[in-house]
Amino acid sequence: MINSNKDILRGVEKHYTENANNIPECDSRSVGWSSVESQYLRFTKLNSVILESDTNISINDYGCGYAEHLTSLIKIKQLDVSLYNGYDISKEMLKNAKTNLDNLGFSKYKLFKSSSIETKSDYTFVSGTFNNKFDVNDQNWLTYIVEKLESINTNSIKGFSFNMLSTWVDWREPQLYYGDPLFFFKLCKEKFSKKVNLLHDYDLFEWTISVTK
């Protein structure tokens, strides 16, 4: 176990709180995406974990930002979401999430200012949450990710999906974490489920893994 989630996430909380304060609420740039199109492409890949037979699901959104993922599930996937649990460590970002959810006319939600998942749901989604490490070294950040994936697995009844910047790039930013897709595929296959899918064929410098129970 690394020192504490609070210590390792201090830079992350500061960054996204500043974004929430300085960028208009419900704007893809506030959660680190350059465009709505790339944001929704990520949602599409993450949503591939959902079974075709599912029409009504509960979800955990870990690192929910302003809760835009729910919009993709309702308006694009046309799913009935029985309960949305949004987790974020930025109080200001959670305020934006509440505004977005209320504007959507969706009332079946709970928002948690926490880095620890406390709710069990059908599916858990993690979009971009593991990308920003700031001044944390790679090994400590990897340890943090693995611990979170273990908790996510425990709290996901049907499955979960997550994305990460790929090590298969020709440049890197020092404050970002680049995950080895083969390492995480092996981890999920050996520890969580036999049904693991790795998507690394879309036009972003990242990959998505889905784990089905």
* Boundaries of domain holding 96: 5-25+36-46+62-212
pLDDT value for 3: 40
Residue 54 lies in a domain: no
Domain count, the chain: 1
Residue 134 lies in a domain: yes
N-terminal to C-terminal alpha carbon distance within the chain: 26
**Pair of tokens at residue 165:** 């910047």
Q: How many CB atoms lie within 10 A of CB 55?
A: 10
Continuous segment of H or E residues that includes residue 5: helix 5-8
Residue 30 lies in a domain: no
Euclidean distance between CA atoms 26 and 106, whole angstroms: 15
Residue 31 lies in a domain: no
**Pair of tokens at residue 141:** 């950040």
pLDDT value for 105: 94
Euclidean distance between CA atoms 105 and 157, whole angstroms: 26
pLDDT value for 28: 42
Residue 57 lies in a domain: no
Residue 53 lies in a domain: no
Q: Tens of pLDDT along the chain (213 residues)?
A: 344 465 657 655 555 556 555 545 555 444 444 567 888 999 999 999 999 999 999 999 999 988 999 998 998 889 999 999 999 988 888 998 999 999 999 999 999 999 999 999 999 999 999 998 988 999 999 999 999 999 999 999 999 999 999 999 999 999 899 999 999 999 999 999 999 999 999 999 999 999 999
pLDDT value for 31: 43
Residue 55 lies in a domain: no
Query: What CATH number did the domain enclosing 167 receive?
Result: 3.40.50.150
